[in-house]
Amino acid sequence: MSRDSAPLADPAIADAADAGANVSPPVPQPPGTVYLVGAGPGDPELLTLKAHRLLRQCDALVYDSLVPKAVLDLVPAGCERHFVGKRRGHHSVPQPSTNAVLVELAGRLGTIVRLKGGDPFLFGRGGEEAAHLAARGIPVQVVPGVTAGIAAPAYAGIPVTHRKAGSSVTFVTGHEEIDKGRAGVDWRGLARSSDGLVIYMGLHNLARIVAELVAGGLAPATPAAVIQQGTVRGQRSLVATLADLAERVEAEGFASPSIVVIGEVVNQRVPLCAPEPADVTMPIPF
């Protein structure tokens, strides 16, 4: 495995990057390489060839929820596995602890795969982990993945853009506590500025999101869809209008992980083009 050049560790930069987070132990040189790998949305056939290759040869795997066992089992028998996600009844492993695990592994092993659902840089904290490692001189590379926001609608036959449905789409999180230091999403502004919306983690706040979008000028008759467990066993979806979306989601018991699509693209769906979901289950975090 080739080692990529990386900036030398600079304690001042590392300290600044941490800004209050746990300080990680010094790394013996030369460290291994950490690959921030996108696992895709669930269907193992949506893994990239690069992700597949790295999984087959890694010395350590650091993973969280929303990755099927079939993908985790690609790693070699002797590979160290570290789960850092949310377990039933428990909180997620705090980000500084995950960072520390990656630093420790990089000091001892050659190829570390940090596997994340979908794409690591899209609502996946991949950017934070990359910065943490780079600031310590640890070689790190991102391996983009197929994001759920494109794949889950596709597996319901919904194209996220269409020439008949406008020319813009916005990927947005409905989980607004991700960074309490910043203002929340400007849903009223998005109602006016984006033709389509793909909302991650949107179910919990759905009624409020819909109310804000309508207040921002989006017609209550705007088509919308929800796709739960996209691309894997148990996938299901509904199509509604903005006006009845939240009520339908509640009545039909939709749950995480789900993607919400809002906009005229929903009317452009072609159910016949939707692939069969893969026959694998995905551990769901609660």
Instruction: Give the helix/strand (H/E) hosting 70.
Output: helix 69-72
Q: How far is the CB of 46 from ligand SAM (least distance, A)?
A: 10
If one asks whether residue 130 binds ligand SAM (CB under 6 A), the answer comes out as no
Q: How far, in whole angstroms, is CA 244 from its chain's centroid? A: 27
Q: How far is the CB of 18 from ligand SAM (least distance, A)?
A: 22
Per CB under 6 A, the list member of 31, 32, 41, 153 interacting with ligand SAM is 41
If one asks whether residue 229 binds ligand SAM (CB under 6 A), the answer comes out as yes
Q: What is the CA radius of gyration of the chain?
A: 20
- Residue 279 annotated to the active site: no
Measured distance CA(47)–CA(71) in Å, rounded: 9
Q: Which of 215, 274, 228 is nearest to 254 (CA)?
A: 228
Q: What is the CA angle 133-136-137, rounded to 5? A: 90
Q: Taking CB under 6 A as the rule, which mask of x and - marks residues 180-219 in contact with ligand SAM? A: --------------------xx------------------
Candidates 44-52, 186-194, 241-249, 254-262: pick the segment binding ligand SAM (CB under 6 A). 254-262
Q: Taking CB under 6 A as the rule, which mask of x and - marks residues 135-174 in contact with ligand SAM? A: ------------xxx--x----------------------
Contacts of 277 (CB under 8 A, 6+ apart): 42, 43, 155, 229, 230, 231, 232, 233, 234, 235
Q: What are the catalytic residues? A: 64, 86, 201
